[in-house]
Amino acid sequence: MADVLNIEDLSIEFLKGQRIAAVREVSLRVTQGECVGIVGESGSGKTQIFMGALGLLPGSARATGSVRFENAEILGAPRAALNRIRGSRLCMVFQDPMSSLTPHLRIATQLAEVLVCHRGMSWRDSEQAALRMLDRVRVPEAKRRLRQYPHQLSGGMRQRVTIAMSLLCEPALMIADEPTTALDVTVQAQIIDLLRTLRHEFGTAFVLISHDLAVVGGLADRILVMYAGRVIESADAAQLMSRPRHPYTAELLRCLPDLSAPPLERMPSLPGQPPDAAHPAAGCEFAPRCRYAVQRCREQRPPLRQLGETQVACHFPVGS
Amino acid sequence: MIEPLLQVRDLSVRYGAASVLEDVNFDLLAGETLGLVGESGSGKSTLARALLRLVPVSRGEVLWRGRNLLSCGAAEMRKHRRDLQIVFQDPLSSLNPRMTAGQILAEPLKIFEPALSARDRQARIDAMLERVGLGKAVARRYPREFSGGQCQRIGIARAMMLNPQLIVCDEPVSSLDVSIQGQIVNLLLDLQRDFGIALLFISHNLAVVRHLSRRVLVIYLGRLVEIAPRDALFAAPVHPYTRGLLAAASGVALGEAEPPPSERPSGCVFRARCPHRQDLCAVAQPALQAVGPEHFVACRRARDLMS
Amino acid sequence: MSINRGALIALWLVLALVALALAGPWLNPNTIDALDWSHVAAAPGLANAHWFGTDRLGRDLFVRTLEGTRMSLIVGLVASAVSLAVGVSYGAVCGYFGGRTDYWMMRIIEILSGLPLIFFAIFLTVIFGRSEALLFISIGAVGWLTMARIVRGQTLSVRRQEFIEAAVASGATPGRIIARHIIPNVLGPVIVYATLTVPQIILYESFLSFLGLGVQEPHASLGTLIAEGAVEMQGAPWILLVPGIFLAVLLLCLNLVGDGLRDRLAKEP
């Protein structure tokens, strides 16, 4: 299977007074039609990876490493080259649909613009294609919605519109950054269903970024867990959800709410604070919060290594 | 029969023609934790603010220890604020960026106990910082130097400074990482146990509400649709919306998409998305009717749905 | 302080000018009104004690220019300070209370904005005679207006923020909220505007003095000096150029410092 996206040793640093290493030596691959989930909390760097890949980082950021999309190097590529790919072959759907839609343009205009710019289609044909796409993403009364403005749509509908916008050019890869986080729980389930269906209909590869393991677990084939800018576990989704090898992953799973189980005395949580990117630790970044940490963990950073079918960065993986 | 600490009667908040809250009625007892569950647009944050008179109210009463807060003068209302506090959703923006943590905590003391000496005040601030797990060394730092969880602890400390009787928590953990949420919830539980404060805990997160609450209110588009003791609500919800919420939380999608803000249906507020709707549901919003001990549902088909 | 290079140089220049204006008179034996009949309208030079030359009446230009700078700075700073105090309080009250209070307070601002400063100043001078106090009054009457508008605008946006709600919920009185929560958080633009107000006011004052309303003989301000110099432009250009250059440099530097401050404050977290 050809690689759609191949990231090798990507590191991203921000120079805002102090050096902040947001992403550290991250490598990941996405093959055709695959759905890869990236899970992490604040400071994990999960979004920055793709901002870097798409060339959306601010001027004060420095990215090193390699990002190959459909066999072409896109890290540091000139803007013209990136513009050809972004929005057509490689699309990103962001967390807050209200901010990704232009408030003063009608939905029809925003959707049609994608095809006019990237495929050179006429406005009329583009609007027709947009209408068909809105149907495919299950927006009810699509014709009426096309004439409306973003603020006239509900949150769930807006998110569908942004997904539609991304799919118009039938991209090879779609990156969804926290696509359901800003939505109500009753709508979240619908959007996840939608993404699942679209995946099969279009055969697009997906990267699903979220802090919510449950959301990712329901959709992804493979999951990468990130902490303090590094990948600390990488495995098959089913494998990771049932047999996590890194203590952090295990804790995240423990924190997942389970409404069917009786309510607990204390709500599960991790002690301590998320990592401070400005002051990286010498050893394992998770050690201050890890219940199994010993001296070696604090001094020596565990490398990411293969353990059976999982890759894990831990000196004492769970179950060993 | 003990008089409830807080009694809300027919509370309505309207902005022009748009109704954000309509006919909200509930009681809260001293020391109780009441959960309020709702999604975006449900009016839950507006309710939190309306109770504290932070937004104008169109109609209704908020009886705090028997006294209607909405008819008090400004000076009297300020006196009541000592006992009726709030913790906000966004931990960082609820703290004045130009004040240190210590100064933020000193304010309630300066307002209500101006006679306190600087040293005594500092002692109280230090004690509270320790109590919320931050340690007194942080008093000199500014909000931007703290993480989200730490900011929220400061917010809780500020609410606790004068030992209030009720703290309204408006989605206090929603902006925090999942692994940190539990810390804050457990802190609130500890404080409640130690100080006997009542909590009105507002959230869209059912799991968290289940953890804390003795009773739960469910709100949809500005109206209370169900009130029930916690176990009854989670084990056997009656209102179709509550059922939908619980199903969705377990990953099952609720049928129709929610209508956009400008297109609210007439009659029952949930009619457009309800799988059990009938013609008589279009007539008017049903009132809350009792279906069990401390259990109320606003649905014409409640009896049918329970069997 | 990481102000940009240009602003930093400008700042040093302003401080140098201020130091010169304050200490200058001791450097030169002449006084502002001593008439030196042997050196009437003399060109600048180091030969005699008249480094910048003299004017039509033989008065030393060096000392008079420094006096003028001092006068302009005093008026500029004092009037700015007053407009700051009045403007900030007025604007914060308007913005915080909103509603009818805001409505009527803003109408007052609009009426005063419509007042033509020059006619107002002339009118007052005609009635009360020429005096420096009138200078302060006429500038003071209009100098605070824009500051009030700016602060009102800033207050309207700060007021919506959650920590203001938190302050209300903590039982703070409106006075306390305005003083402790609103004003400290609108200071950024206020400081920038204040530094830009100083040159504006100096220019106003210069203009009024140029017209003959304001600073009286034998005192000088840069405006009066320029007025005198304009008359002598053909024969003795330095009488105009010296105060003119001082004024231009002063205004330029103050504007650069203001810009630098704004850039610096815009970058703050």
Measured in angstroms, the CA of C15 and the nearest CA of chain B are apart by 29
Shortest CA distance from B87: residue in chain C: C166
Interface list for chain A against chain B, based on CB atoms closer than 8 Å: 41-42, 140, 152-157, 184-190, 192-193, 211-212, 214, 218, 251-252, 255-260, 263-264, 266-271, 273-274
Tokens of A295: 């001296």
Contact check, Cβ <8 Å, B208/A190: no
Contact check, Cβ <8 Å, B107/C167: yes
Measured in angstroms, the CA of A288 and the nearest CA of chain B are apart by 14
pLDDT tens for each residue of C81-137:
888 889 999 999 999 998 899 999 999 999 888 878 778 777 877 887 777 777 777
Q: CA A40 to CA A33: how far, in whole Å? A: 23
Shortest CA distance from A276: residue in chain B: B147
Write phi, then psi, for A151 (nearest 5 degrees).
-70, -10
Residue with tokens 């960026």: B97
- pLDDT greater than 50 at residue C269: no
Sorted by sequence, the CB contacts under 8 Å of residue B202 that are 6+ apart come out as B35, B36, B38, B44, B45, B47, B48, B168, B169, B170, B171
The per-residue DSSP string of C178-224 comes to IIIIIHHHHHHHHHHHHHHHHHHHHHHHHHHHHTT-SPPTT---HHH
Closest to A232 (Cα-Cα) out of A275, A267, A192 = A275
Shortest CA distance from C176: residue in chain B: B111
Q: CA C172 to CA B80: how far, in whole Å? A: 12
The verdict on domain C5-267 having CATH code 1.10.10.10 is no
pLDDT of amino acid B304? 80
pLDDT tens for each residue of B171-196:
999 888 888 899 999 999 999 999 99
Measured in angstroms, the CA of B164 and the nearest CA of chain C are apart by 11
pLDDT tens for each residue of B218-253:
999 899 999 999 999 998 899 988 988 888 777 666
Judged by a CB distance cut-off of 8 A, whether residue B251 touches chain A is yes
Q: CA B18 to CA B43: how far, in whole Å? A: 12
- pLDDT greater than 80 at residue B199: yes
Query: How high does pLDDT run on average in chain C?
Result: 83
A42 contact residues in B (CB cutoff 8 A): 147-148, 177
Using CB atoms, pick whichever of C170, C181, C269 lies closest to residue B111. Answer: C170
Residue with tokens 């990136």: A82
Interface with chain B: mutation pick from C154, C162, C181, highest number of B CBs within 10 Å: C162
Handedness of CA A228, A230, A232, A238 (dihedral sign): positive
Judged by a CB distance cut-off of 8 A, whether residue B145 touches chain A is no
Query: How high does pLDDT run on average in chain B?
Result: 89
Judged by a CB distance cut-off of 8 A, whether residue B253 touches chain A is yes
Q: CA A60 to CA A141: how far, in whole Å? A: 45
Kindly list the domain boundaries of chain C, sorted by start residue: 5-267
pLDDT tens for each residue of B27-64:
999 999 999 999 887 889 999 999 999 999 999 999 99
- pLDDT greater than 60 at residue B131: yes
Contact check, Cβ <8 Å, B147/A273: yes
Contact check, Cβ <8 Å, B208/A267: yes
Measured in angstroms, the CA of B246 and the nearest CA of chain C are apart by 31
Q: CA A119 to CA A246: how far, in whole Å? A: 45
Contacts of residues A232-237 at CB distance under 8 Å and 24 or more positions apart, as own/partner, are: A232/A286, A232/A304, A232/A312, A232/A313, A232/A314, A233/A310, A233/A311, A233/A312, A233/A313, A233/A314, A234/A28, A234/A304, A234/A310, A234/A311, A234/A312, A235/A309, A235/A310, A235/A311, A235/A312, A236/A309, A236/A310, A237/A37
Burial C76-113 (b: 16+ CB within 10 A, else e): beebbebbbebbbbbbbbbbbeeeeebeebbeebeeee
148-167 in chain B: CB under 8 A from chain A: 148-150
Sorted by sequence, the CB contacts under 8 Å of residue C245 that are 6+ apart come out as none
Q: CA C68 to CA C224: how far, in whole Å? A: 8
pLDDT of amino acid C266? 64
Measured in angstroms, the CA of B236 and the nearest CA of chain C are apart by 37
How many residues in chain B?
A: 307
Contact check, Cβ <8 Å, B250/A271: no
- pLDDT greater than 80 at residue A204: yes
Name all chains with 3 or more CB-CB pairs below 8 Å to chain B: A, C
List residues bridging with B67 in a β-sheet.
B64
- Residue C212 burial (CB count, 10 A): 14
Contact check, Cβ <8 Å, B96/C163: yes
Do the Cβ atoms of C245 and C62 come closer than 8 Å?
A: no
Q: CA A229 to CA A26: how far, in whole Å? A: 8
Do the Cβ atoms of C91 and C152 come closer than 8 Å?
A: yes
DSSP SS3 for B149: helix
Burial B130-145 (b: 16+ CB within 10 A, else e): ebbbbebebbeebbee
Measured in angstroms, the CA of B237 and the nearest CA of chain A are apart by 13
Q: CA B139 to CA B150: how far, in whole Å? A: 12
Contact check, Cβ <8 Å, B248/A273: no
Sorted by sequence, the CB contacts under 8 Å of residue C27 that are 6+ apart come out as none
Q: What is the DSSP letter of B275?
A: T
Residue with tokens 């609410």: B159
How far apart, in Å, are the Cα atoms of B271 and each of A207, B74, B258, B302, C110? 37, 40, 10, 14, 52
Handedness of CA A279, A282, A286, A288 (dihedral sign): negative
- Residue B203 burial (CB count, 10 A): 25
- Residue B39 burial (CB count, 10 A): 20
Apex CA B268: angle with CA B264 and CA B269, to 5°?
Answer: 40
Tell me what the mean pLDDT of segment B274-280 comes to.
Answer: 81
Do the Cβ atoms of A90 and A171 come closer than 8 Å?
A: yes
pLDDT-wise least confident of A79-88, B1-10, C96-105, C199-208? C199-208
Closest to A66 (Cα-Cα) out of A9, A22, A105, A15 = A9
Measured in angstroms, the CA of A115 and the nearest CA of chain B are apart by 27
Contact check, Cβ <8 Å, A188/B248: yes
Percent of chain A whose pLDDT exceeds 70: 99
Tokens of C181: 């929560």
Contact check, Cβ <8 Å, B78/C269: no
Tokens of B16: 């022009």
Using CB atoms, pick whichever of A156, A184, A189 lies closest to residue B204. Answer: A184
H or E segment to which residue A222 belongs: strand A222-227
Confidence band (pLDDT; 50, 70, 90) for C3?
Answer: low
How far apart, in Å, are the Cα atoms of B26 and each of B50, B269, B279, B294, C212? 14, 19, 29, 11, 74
Name all chains with 3 or more CB-CB pairs below 8 Å to chain C: B
Higher pLDDT, B307 or B30: B30
Using CB atoms, pick whichever of C163, C169, C269 lies closest to residue B86. Answer: C169
Measured in angstroms, the CA of C191 and the nearest CA of chain B are apart by 15
Judged by a CB distance cut-off of 8 A, whether residue B186 touches chain A is yes
B261 contact residues in A (CB cutoff 8 A): 154
Q: CA B15 to CA B17: how far, in whole Å? A: 6
Closest to A35 (Cα-Cα) out of A174, A194, A242 = A174
pLDDT of amino acid B68? 92
Q: CA A109 to CA C34: how far, in whole Å? A: 78
Tell me what the mean pLDDT of segment B271-286 comes to.
Answer: 81
pLDDT-wise least confident of B133-137, C58-62, C252-256? C58-62
Percent of chain B whose pLDDT exceeds 70: 95
Confidence band (pLDDT; 50, 70, 90) for B254?
Answer: low
Q: CA A87 to CA A116: how far, in whole Å? A: 12
Interface list for chain B against chain C, based on CB atoms closer than 8 Å: 49, 52, 54, 78-79, 81-82, 85-86, 88, 90, 93-99, 107-108, 111-112, 144, 155, 158
C167 contact residues in B (CB cutoff 8 A): 96, 107
How far apart, in Å, are the Cα atoms of A93 and each of A34, A89, A179, A206? 17, 13, 7, 11
Q: What is the DSSP letter of C177?
A: I
Q: CA C4 to CA A296: how far, in whole Å? A: 47
ipTM metric: 0.88
Interface list for chain C against chain B, based on CB atoms closer than 8 Å: 161-163, 165-173, 176, 180-181, 184-185, 269
pLDDT tens for each residue of C122-179:
787 788 777 777 777 777 777 788 889 999 999 999 998 999 999 999 999 999 999 9
